[in-house]
Amino acid sequence: MTGRYGIEALNVYAGLAHIPVPALFAGRGLDPARLDNLMMRSRSVGLPFEDPVTNAVNAAGPLLDALGPGGRDGIELLVTSTESGLDLSKSVASYVHEYLGLSRNCRLLEVKQACYAATGAIQLATGYLASGASPGARALVIGTDLALVDARAGYAEPATGHGAVAVLVGDRPAVLAIDAGAFGVYSYETLDSARPTPELDIADVDRSLFAYLDCLSGSFADYRSRVADADFLATFGYLAMHTPFAGLVRAAHRKLAREHAARVATEPDFEYRVAPSLIYPAAVGNLCSGSVYLALASLLDHADLAAPARIGLYAYGSGCSSEFFSGVADAGSAAAVAAMGIGAHLAARRELSFAEYVRLLPVTLRALVPEPDRTVDLAPYQDFRQPDRRLLVHTGSKQYHRLYEWR
Amino acid sequence: MTATARAEVLATVRAVVADILPGLSPADIAEHRHLADLGADSVDRVEIIIGLLHRLGLREPMSSFSSPPNVGALVDLLVAKGAALPGGGR
């Protein structure tokens, strides 16, 4: 590895259920001609015993188990990044800290900047660790969210996912050595999508897609202004981007190629440098701020990394803020991510029929609505359990205190 | 801006839209219609705006084109951004 700080470990939890996108299209009466541009195969669907806390804990748990005895104690910063907050004051991180069994000598924070926030947290954490304030310390950043979409969301419904991505940051960057000082940012105020209430997502599709693409050009230009000789074709062996839906990433690649590599054959370049990053996102849906790291996991599980490669990463969050940055991965990166078995866990999700999916919505759409007392009946969902996995489940709340159990 | 210049921008819009939506002829692309009504999905609309900025030589954020209500308004917006000027908006 060429850098001293970066991603030590990476894992994904994308739920226990999914619905194939063609089935959702058929159930909603959406136009199947649009499947080609959407480029989505399936989407993860939340169950009533899952929430941003369980998703985060179930993503991070295997990473921490792999650290071995004492490994948890080296984590001195826990950040949950979410647009699915459970309380205006108490953070998701406070529950996650408890159920991950982290040290009491640990900073806890929750951050919000739509789908960008996890990247902002990782960059701030990397800078903090590199400051030398606490040599050898690690930071755990978890992007965790759930979906609040139904028929009202139109073509966004088949592209919205459910789950979390856990990223362990430190000075042993086995997954991605982040290039220090190599970044570009681009932000401005817009209302392209938002979650104004705990039950409602709103989106202006064109405004959001255009902002994503303007920010890609703007953040890449800023990156080039900071990194001498950075070149869209020559510098990056692969690209991984925030993926609201895979078809947008194809359009984004085409736009950057047009702006910076007019003579390249766009489609073969996309297939080689970008398509491996879209396999998991196309099977899961948009994971909000975890999405770019789901794309990174997909890339590391599917690209050829026999030789070290620099990866360009692009994070975008509505509202809006964005960053293009880079890091170096190698065969060890692929091995580290492969050990998490992400693809096998995605394949083990139970497929829902459209009728089953619709029956879940009245409960799951209210997952973020505060209720002082609630009991989650786990009995109807026994057949979603995977006996070989010990997972945290949400069992209810008592005087607003949320309750969880290991099952 | 002359009527001729606006007509040229409209012709460019029709050509780019017809290029992205092969089932349409330029004559189908009436000024009162919205791109979505013509069958352009969100990715098609991205490609149409990128194609127009490129063809017209405009350096303008895509977000400037987030909400024109129809083809005619899109043409007016492109003209306002300099599309009808010699050399486009460069």
Q: What is the mean pLDDT of residues A117-130?
A: 97
Q: What Cα–Cα distance (Å) separates residue B66 from each residue in A175, A187, A206, A209?
A: 38, 17, 5, 9
Q: What is the pTM of this model?
A: 0.97
Helix (H, G, I), strand (E, B) or coil at A146: coil
pLDDT at A2: 40
pLDDT at B26: 85
How big is the A-B interface in CB pairs under 8 Å? 54
Confidence of residue B88 (pLDDT cuts 50, 70, 90): low
User: pLDDT, tens digit, for every residue of B34-46?
Assistant: 999 999 999 999 9
Residue at token pair 């899961």: A284
User: pLDDT, tens digit, for every residue of B4-56?
Assistant: 899 999 999 999 999 999 889 888 999 999 999 999 999 999 999 999 999 99
Q: Is 90 exceeded by the pLDDT of residue A123? A: yes
pLDDT at A394: 98
What residues of chain A have any CB closer than 8 angstroms to a CB in chain B? 34, 37-38, 155, 190, 204-207, 209-211, 213-214, 247-248, 250-251, 254-255, 258
pLDDT at B87: 58
Q: Which domains does chain A have, with CATH numbers?
A: 6-406 (3.40.47.10)
Q: Is 90 exceeded by the pLDDT of residue A1? A: no
Residues of chain A in contact with residue B67, where contact means CB-CB under 8 angstroms, are: 204, 206-207
Q: What is the mean pLDDT of residues A147-163?
A: 96
Per DSSP, helices labelled H in A18-168 are 21-28, 35-38, 52-67, 92-100, 117-130
User: pLDDT, tens digit, for every residue of A190-236?
Assistant: 999 999 999 999 999 999 999 999 999 999 999 999 999 999 999 99
User: pLDDT, tens digit, for every residue of A236-274?
Assistant: 999 999 999 999 999 999 999 999 998 999 999 999 999
Q: Kindly state the DSSP code that residue A104 receives in the 8-state scheme.
A: S
Catalytic residue status for A106: no
Q: How far apart are CA A114 and CA A123, in angstroms?
A: 16
Q: What is the mean pLDDT of residues A369-384?
A: 95
Q: Kindly state the DSSP code that residue A191 receives in the 8-state scheme.
A: -
Which of A157, A192, A210, A249 is the mutation pick for testing B, counting most B CBs within 10 A? A210
Q: What is the mean pLDDT of residues A44-64?
A: 98
Q: Is 90 exceeded by the pLDDT of residue A133? A: yes
Catalytic residue status for A242: yes
Q: What are phi and psi of A238, to 5 degrees?
A: -145, 165
Catalytic residue status for A83: yes
User: pLDDT, tens digit, for every residue of A322-370?
Assistant: 999 999 999 999 999 999 999 999 999 999 999 999 999 999 999 999 9
A302, A279 Cβ separation under 8 angstroms: yes
Q: Is 80 exceeded by the pLDDT of residue B1? A: no
If you compute the radius of gyration of chain A from its CA atoms, what whole number of angstroms results? 20
Q: What are phi and psi of A122, to 5 degrees?
A: -65, -40
Q: How far apart are CA A71 and CA B24, in angstroms?
A: 62
B17, B49 Cβ separation under 8 angstroms: no
Q: What is the mean pLDDT of residues A119-125?
A: 98
Residues of chain B in contact with residue A219, where contact means CB-CB under 8 angstroms, are: none
Q: Kindly state the DSSP code that residue B53 receives in the 8-state scheme.
A: H
Helix (H, G, I), strand (E, B) or coil at A200: strand
In this predicted complex, what is the ipTM?
Answer: 0.92
Q: Is 70 exceeded by the pLDDT of residue A39? A: yes
Residues of chain A in contact with residue B49, where contact means CB-CB under 8 angstroms, are: 210
Give the mean pLDDT of chain A.
Answer: 97
Residues of chain B in contact with residue A250, where contact means CB-CB under 8 angstroms, are: 43
Please, which residues 51-80 of chain B have a Cβ atom closer than 8 Å to chain A?
Answer: 54, 61-63, 65-67
Helix (H, G, I), strand (E, B) or coil at A8: strand
pLDDT at B86: 65
Q: How far apart are CA A234 and CA A236, in angstroms?
A: 6
